[in-house]
Structures are given as C-alpha cells and as structure tokens.
Structure 1
Amino acid sequence: MKKIAIIDDESSILEMLKKFLSRKNLFEISTYDNPVTALNSLKRNKYDLILCDIMMPQMTGIDVVKEIKKEIPNQKIIMMTAFSTEEKMIECDDLEVTDYLTKPFISMRDVENKVLTNLNL
C-alpha cells in the first residue's frame, strides 16, 4: 500500500481528498492542516507521495518543499494551488516538484489520475 501525505490548511480539502483517494484501499493517507506539524512527521515517516498546498499560514508550501528536499531530495511532491502565478511555477520547478494541481480541482478523477500517474500505478 502506497503512503500519501496531504498538507493543506483547509480542512474541507483534506477531508475531500482523503475520502476520495481512500475509497479503493490503494493508499494509506495522512493529512496535516499545519505545515510545521507536517514537517515534523515527514522527518519521521516515509511517504511515496506528498500533496502540498502552496498558500498556507505559518509557512508556505514552497518553504515546506525546500525543507523536505533537504532531507529527501528525490521525494515525489505534487503542489496544489489556487494561485498559479508563473513566478510560483518557476520556483516549484527549481525545487523539482513532480507535478501540479490547480484548485478548485477540475474533478476528483483528475486528482486521482495525477496521483496514480506519479506513483506509476
């Protein structure tokens, strides 16, 4: 079973993603509504894929990715954002994130397909 961490300050997004991605029992999903708490857990647990929002209080998703990449350079990460500015995309590319999801999501099936593709399933 593949392990996925989802980091987003919006609890409704966390609940929706966890519920939808859990329905086929392919993934063990951990959710975090606080990027600082998430980072502490990510340093202790290995995940096959991380979905991370860009705009969060306490620390941005970009900062989270920088910290993760210091510890695990080849970690697969999908960034989620409602604000896909070119500057943010370039910053994410520089950090070698795996993929992007734009919020609001086009459909949950698109999200699932992106997750499956990035996990080579």
Structure 2
Amino acid sequence: MSRVLIVDDAAFMRMMIKDILEKNGFEVVGEASNGFKAVEIYKNEKPDVVTMDITMPDMDGIEAVKAIREFDSNAKIIMCSAMGQQTMVMDAIRAGAKDFIVKPFQAERVLEAIRKAIG
C-alpha cells in the first residue's frame, strides 16, 4: 500500500484528497497546512508520494519541494494548483516536482498522477 503525505493550507482540500486516496487503497500518513510542517512530516514518515499545494503561508509549496528534495533527491511530489498558476507550476517542476493537478480536483486525475509518480 502506497503512503501519501497531503499538504494544503485548506483543511477542506486535504479532506477531499484524503477521501479520494483512502477510497482507492492509499494510506494517508500525514497532513500538513504549510511547507515547514510538510518537510518535518516528510522526514519522519518518508511517504511514497506527496501532494503539495503551491500557495501556503509561512513556507510555500515551491520552497517545500526544494527542502524535501534536498533531504531526499528521489522524493515524488505532485503539485496542486489553482487555475492561473502556470508560472508557479513550472517553477515547482524545475524544483523537482513530478507532476501537477489542478483544483477543483477530479478523482481520476489525482489517482492517475499519483500512480504515475509512484511508477
């Protein structure tokens, strides 16, 4: 069973992704509402994949991707973006993110991105 860390400052968004994943046999090993917490949980849990929101307080998703990839160069991170964040998505991909999904989330797309990232 693949282990996932969900990172989003909106509890509702985390709940939505968690729901999609758990219904499809994934284990959610942690949730974080900002980049600092995400890095901390990543180091403790070493999840198989991370869903990472871009815009968050304290430490945004792009900074968090860099910090996680510094700790683990093989980290598999999927960015979650709102419409109109293409520039930030490209920054995140350059920082090492594997893929991105756009809000509002479609279950199929979320699952496809995660399965692809895990390989």
Q: Same fold (TM over 0.5)?
A: yes
SS of 2:63's partner is helix
Structure 1 equivalent of residue 22 of structure 2:
22
SS of 1:55's partner is coil
Give TM-score, length-normalised by structure 1: 0.88
Q: Does 1:70 align with 2:56?
A: no
- How far apart in 1 are the matches of 2:111 and 2:86? 25
Identity across matched positions, percent: 30
Deviations 1:22-75 (A, max 9, x none): 013x22102222322222121122111010000001111001011001100111
Q: In angstroms, what is the RMSD of aligned CA positions?
A: 1.5
Give the number of the structure whose residues are more often helix, by fraction: 2
Which of structure 1's runs of 4+ aligned residues deviate more than 4 A?
none
Equivalent residues, number: 118
In the TM superposition, 1:37-116 aligns within 5 A as: 37-105=37-105, 107-116=106-115
- How far apart in 2 are the matches of 1:27 and 1:11? 19
- How far apart in 2 are the matches of 1:84 and 1:76? 23
Q: Structure 1: where are the runs of 5+ without partners?
A: none
- Greater Rg, structure 1 or structure 2? 1
Give TM-score, length-normalised by structure 2: 0.89
